[in-house]
Amino acid sequence: MTAGRIRMGLLLGDLIGQALDGVGGKPVRLLIGLLGAAVGIGALVVTVGLGQTATGQLSSRFDSAAALHAEVAPTTASGSDGKERAQATLPVDSVSRVTSLAGVQAAALVTTLPDPAPSVRTADIHDPSQPPPASPPVMAADADLLGATGGVLGAGRFFDAGHEARHDRVAVLGAKAAAELGVGSLQSRPSVFIGDHAYTVIGILDSVTVQRPLLEAVIVPSTTARRDLGLRMPDTLVLQVAPGASAIVARQVPIALDSGDPGSFTVAAPPSGGLEGAVRHDLDLVFFAVALIILAAGALGVANVTMLSVTERRAEIGLRRALGTPRSLVAAQFVIESLIVGIIGGVIGAAAGVLVVVAVSSAQAWTPVLDVGVVVAAVGAGGVLGMLAGGFPALRAARVEPIEALRS
């Protein structure tokens, strides 16, 4: 058994020595192979590193939004029928109660009109022969909605306290609702019909930090909704808080709303509605697909270089086969050559990939995030890449017939 192990060790040492000679015999060919492996592994490290960095940046943005905004809603409990029911109602003057608190920078009540929601259309035309078209939801809000939600208008203006005091029939359309209703410009002072009343569109909401359903809705003043649309009690109070004040605001707001029973209200960071998870998934998918494509291109480069090596060394292979070298050892030598090229290229590519991630992160003022395990695994992936890329050329080398190779 000992003699067999010694013989196996000598054989493996000879194979590695021959593989090193074959790899270093053609420096230009070696550089091309290293370039293919390095590009593939480097691209893998860069895409994974930038993906992790972008995900970390995304999380910090969402955390920042959650730290600067809060939502207050009545506490719910299951009834006898199993349905969740609110245990209290938000006071109509909730905004005035909380805006005097330290740390609250803006506040607004937001309510989605319950079913059956009023129909919304751009023309007061009823066609009995046609089914009623789907209409966007209607939401009622206070004048400081933009400040409370971090909203940005794409056109026009938002209604103010004067509109609320006069119960004006004005509306602001979310960007998606405006597209659905075909309202793209405010120059002609367009109107929308909500139920039986015409509302003048004075603005289009382009984006919000929280309460993203607003972008799909028609937004009207709360006072007008109470008069025309049967709005009763608000369901959500949205707050913008000062940095670092979210904890104290969360303790004070329920007391300000109901000092006798503050536990009847819940203060929480606004839900993202799965947006953060969806964006992360999309980012990971895109980066992973790009990495696979470039990695495949690198493997093809290594395979082409190894195939070229087999073609150039047919006479050598034929001589070795004529001297009795088994096919398996011929194939093993070329696999080892590809493995060496893959590992060296993996080291170079991983190092270059780390530098690129750091450079891009520094240019964007991001915090670079890259798991050390990914870098180590990338070097191992370089070896696997070389072995897989050298598999087919190794089989071609093993099938070379000695007589034909020597004649050529």
Q: Residue 213: which of 283, 311, 141, 147 has the closest Cα?
A: 141
Beta strands in 4-93 (DSSP E): 69-74, 76-78, 84-86
Last residue of a domain, one of 228, 257, 286: 257
Same structural domain, 398 and 283: yes
How high is the pLDDT of residue 345?
A: 82
Least confident stretch, 253-257, 281-285, 293-297: 281-285
Same structural domain, 93 and 234: yes
For residue 154, give its domain range.
89-257
Say how far apart CA 210 and CA 152 lie, in whole Å.
11
pLDDT tens digits, one per residue of 352-367: 888 988 888 888 777 7
Same structural domain, 140 and 281: no
Same structural domain, 229 and 164: yes
Same structural domain, 232 and 299: no
How high is the pLDDT of residue 2?
A: 47
Q: Residue 301: which of 347, 350, 349, 342 has the closest Cα?
A: 342
Say how far apart CA 245 and CA 257 lie, in whole Å.
18
Coil, helix or strand at residue 239: strand
Q: Which strand (E) or helix (H) includes residue 294?
A: helix 275-312
Same structural domain, 212 and 140: yes
Average confidence (pLDDT) over 316-334: 70
Same structural domain, 47 and 145: no
How high is the pLDDT of residue 203?
A: 95
What are the residues facing 148 on neighbouring strands? none
Same structural domain, 343 and 387: yes
Q: Is residue 126 part of a domain?
A: yes
- The band of 292, judged by pLDDT with boundaries at 50, 70 and 90, is confident
* DSSP-assigned states of every residue in 120-171: EESS----TTSPPPP---EEEE-TTHHHHHT-EEEEE----HHHHHHT--EE
- Mean pLDDT across the chain: 78
Average confidence (pLDDT) over 379-383: 81
Predicted confidence (pLDDT) at residue 377 exceeds the cutoff of 80: yes
Same structural domain, 98 and 200: yes
Q: Is residue 47 part of a domain?
A: yes
How high is the pLDDT of residue 205?
A: 95
151 or 38, higher pLDDT? 151
Say how far apart CA 254 and CA 61 lie, in whole Å.
27
* pTM for the structure as a whole: 0.53
Same structural domain, 376 and 227: no
Q: Which strand (E) or helix (H) includes residue 379?
A: helix 372-398
User: Hey, which of 24-28, 35-39, 89-93, 123-127 has the most confident mean pLDDT?
Assistant: 89-93
Say how many domains are in the chain. 2
Same structural domain, 346 and 403: yes
Say how far apart CA 334 and CA 327 lie, in whole Å.
11
Same structural domain, 282 and 251: no
